[in-house]
Structures are given as structure tokens and as C-alpha cells.
Amino acid sequence: MARSLNKVMLIGNIGSEPEIKTTGAGTKFAKVSLATNRQFKDRQGQQQEKTEWHRLTFWDKLAELVEQYVKKGDRIYVEGRIEYSTTEDDKGNQKFWTDITVNEMVLLGGASGGAGGGGGGYEGGGASRGRQTGGGGGYTKSGPGSTSGGGGGSTSPFDSQDDDLPF
């Protein structure tokens, strides 16, 4: 069977305070809106700007991090996948939704510095694994059931004493 890919990468600003909920089975999730902007010149040569709004959903540990650290106006980087769904309103009309289910997030800062002004991140991938991605301010989950604060030492895989680098 041929492989396929459903991957989205976005950098933008949080447009609303996170909405934190729990499923009937006790799984925590968070929903936020994210604004991305692009600039372009129209046919008359005038500079234009367009804002696109994205619906983001975070699950489990990422939802806990969103609840704790993310607020309206913060700038974040996310990776995830597109999911489509439909619901029916109280008048019987179908509504179509496009959501980004996030599996990696990096806090880039925000209007008030956000995330300690750092670039810490967290990669999800299930309740029992994850890794630090970024330069601090995030959390790392080093094994089942153990979570520790990040931001204390280097996250580089290279030894700072390595003199054999070609640059």
C-alpha cells in the first residue's frame, strides 16, 4: 500500500483564550483559534494583507500545557493533521468543520512575552511519550509517568567540547 501524508505546519497568533474540556472518558482537550497572516500585491500593485483563521485541537499532555501556558495573543508554532467533521445545528442544517489536530507545539512568545519569552516546545504523540523540542520553557516527558521541567541545560545532542566540527 502506498504511503500518504496529512501534515500541517503553522506559525501564528492565538485569537481566543483556550477552551479546555474533558471527554466523557476523562481525556482532556483544548480548543483555540489561530490567526495566520500573509501579504501580497493585488493586480493594481497595492499591498494587501489577508488573515486566515484555523481551529486547533490539542489532546492530553498538550492540552494541559495549553491550559497552563497559552493565552490570547501568544505566538506559537504547531504541527498536526487536518481533520474534517460535520455537525447538525438545532434547525437541522449541516455544518462542516475543518480542524487541525496538533501533535507538536512550540511556544514562540506573545504580546506580553508569553512562555517566559522562550522558545520551549513539547511534542505529543500519545500519553506515554514525548520529547523536548526547542530551547527551554517547555516540558519533557522522559518515560512513562515521569515529567520534569525543561529549560535547565542544553538540549543539543552535541558536546560543547567537540573541536572536530568543520566550521
Tell me the pLDDT tens digit for each residue of 63-93.
Answer: 999 999 999 999 999 999 999 999 999 999 9
C-alpha to C-alpha distance for 127 and 25, rounded to whole angstroms: 14
Stated pTM of the model: 0.65
Helix (H, G, I), strand (E, B) or coil at 63: helix
> Is the Cβ–Cβ distance between 39 and 47 less than 8 Å?
yes
Question: Which residue, 62, 65, 61, is CA-closest to 79?
Answer: 62
Q: How many CB atoms lie within 10 A of CB 117?
A: 12
pLDDT of 122 > 70? The answer is no
Burial of residue 41, with CB atoms counted within 10 A of its CB: 0-12 exposed, 13-18 middle, 19 or more buried: exposed
pLDDT, the chain, mean: 76
C-alpha to C-alpha distance for 32 and 67, rounded to whole angstroms: 10
Confidence category of residue 21, pLDDT binned at 50, 70, 90: very high
Average pLDDT over residues 35-60: 95
- Cα dihedral value 43, 44, 48, 53, nearest 10: -30
